[in-house]
């Protein structure tokens, strides 16, 4: 009995102390979350082409919300989409370059800021985003190309995007989604010529992407994405992705006099099915699979 009373007393003392600390704590203001926004979010959510129309480089932009409406609701963290994206309650989880995502303590800062009434603090703007280009000799990772996908592609290639569901179910909202080969492989690590994503961005395959272009991606942006694929389509931590051996591919392009399709060696054409007698100069579609080294095994070739 004495032991139980002592435990209850200890628990009450701990609770009282916690409430006292909370009451005396400084309210969380925008100043506390601005550095996190600058480090993890502003690379995609800034400027006139900010992903989803959501600018996170100023307090005004954050409060204005996205093209779909407010992302923070004063005093109501549970229904604030920003917090739900940060903690993974809503998908895709943010930031797009994760994992790693924000720590529990960092997410708690946003929760406290929203619960406390969205206090402005100094309301100083977030520092300019860090350039997405890798330094000389630095491997290209998903952290470098994710802002390009977020700004130019993810407005459609996401759940509930501008076109409703993601076109053909292909999402460009995370490293795992970008490399998904469930339906077919759009990125083949180490093999840019076999990567449908790059061929679409370059305009070798039609329709050229992004769908609302021109303008399309710049030569520098396309080169960066190609380098990322060449170097193994590394995740944000720098780990190269495996080749999805056995995955389907569907590629488009112009057949050259050497039988290549915009640089792609179609391999075993003699064993492949041919429809509509494709000839050099024709725009063609290739259906096939990948072997263990990422080479394309052509199963069908037809003129479009």
Query: pLDDT digits over 96-125, tens only?
Result: 888 889 999 999 999 999 999 999 988 776
Burial class (CB in 10 A: 0-12, 13-18, 19+), 304: exposed
pLDDT, residue 130, reads: 56
Question: Considering only CA atoms, which of 301, 296, 297 is closest in space to residue 277?
Answer: 301
The separation between CA 52 and the C-alpha centre of its own chain, rounded to angstroms, equals: 12
Stated pTM of the model: 0.79
The separation between CA 56 and the C-alpha centre of its own chain, rounded to angstroms, equals: 16
Lowest mean pLDDT among 9-13, 35-39, 75-79, 278-282: 9-13
Question: Could you tell me the two tokens for 122?
Answer: 């100094």
Q: Would you place residue 38 in the very low, low, confident or very high pLDDT band (cuts 50, 70, 90)?
A: confident
Beta strands 273-275; 283-290: pairing state: unpaired
pLDDT, residue 126, reads: 62
What CA–CA distance (Å, rounded) separates 214 from 235? 29
Phi/psi region, residue 137 (left: phi>0; alpha: psi -120 to 50; beta: rest), is left
CA distances to 75, 81, 191 from 186, in Å: 42, 30, 11
The mean pLDDT of 219-244, rounded to a whole number, is: 96
pLDDT, residue 23, reads: 39
Alpha-carbon Rg for the chain in angstroms: 25
Domain ranges of the chain: 28-115, 142-303
Phi/psi region, residue 24 (left: phi>0; alpha: psi -120 to 50; beta: rest), is alpha
Q: Which long-range contacts (CB under 8 A, 24 or more apart) does 274-280 make?
A: 274/300, 274/301, 274/302, 275/300, 275/301, 275/302, 275/303, 276/302, 276/303, 277/303, 278/302, 278/303, 279/255, 279/303, 280/255, 280/256
Render pLDDT for 203-225 as a digit per residue (tens, 0 to 9).
999 999 998 889 999 999 999 99
Taking all residues of the chain, what is their mean pLDDT, rounded to a whole number? 87
Lowest mean pLDDT among 20-24, 148-152, 242-246: 20-24
pLDDT, residue 7, reads: 38
Q: Would you place residue 129 in the very low, low, confident or very high pLDDT band (cuts 50, 70, 90)?
A: low
Burial class (CB in 10 A: 0-12, 13-18, 19+), 277: exposed
Beta strands 248-254; 296-303: pairing state: unpaired
pLDDT surpasses 60 at 15: no
The mean pLDDT of 292-301, rounded to a whole number, is: 95
The mean pLDDT of 47-52, rounded to a whole number, is: 83
């Amino acid at each position: 009995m004495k032991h139980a009373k002592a435990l209850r007393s200890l628990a009450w003392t701990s609770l009282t102390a916690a409430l006292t600390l909370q009451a005396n704590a400084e309210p969380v203001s925008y100043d506390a979350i601005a550095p996190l926004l600058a480090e993890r979010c502003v690379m995609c959510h800034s400027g006139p082409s900010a992903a989803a129309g959501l600018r996170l480089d100023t307090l005004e932009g954050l409060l204005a919300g996205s093209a779909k409406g407010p992302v923070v609701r004063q005093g109501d963290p549970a229904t604030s989409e920003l917090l739900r994206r940060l903690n993974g309650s809503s998908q895709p989880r943010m930031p797009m370059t994760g994992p790693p995502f924000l720590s529990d303590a960092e997410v708690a800062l946003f929760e406290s800021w929203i619960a406390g009434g969205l206090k402005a603090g100094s309301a100083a703007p977030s520092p300019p985003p860090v350039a997405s280009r890798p330094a000389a000799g630095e491997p290209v990772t998903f952290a470098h190309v994710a802002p390009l996908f977020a700004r130019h592609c993810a407005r459609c290639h996401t759940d509930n995007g501008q076109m409703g569901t993601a076109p053909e179910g292909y999402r460009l909202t995370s490293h795992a989604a970008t490399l998904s080969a469930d339906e077919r492989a759009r990125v083949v690590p180490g093999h840019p010529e076999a990567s449908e994503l790059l061929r679409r961005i370059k305009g070798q395959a039609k329709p050229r992407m992004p769908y609302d272009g021109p303008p399309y991606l710049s030569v520098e942006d396309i080169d960066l994405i190609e380098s990322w694929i060449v170097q193994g389509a590394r995740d944000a931590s720098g780990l190269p992705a495996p080749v999805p051996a056995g995955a389907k591919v569907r590629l488009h392009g112009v057949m050259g006099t050497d039988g290549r399709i915009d640089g792609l060696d179609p391999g075993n054409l003699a064993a492949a099915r041919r429809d509509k007698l494709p000839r050099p100069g024709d725009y063609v579609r290739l259906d096939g699979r990948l072997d263990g080294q990422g080479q394309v095994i052509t199963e069908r070739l037809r003129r479009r």
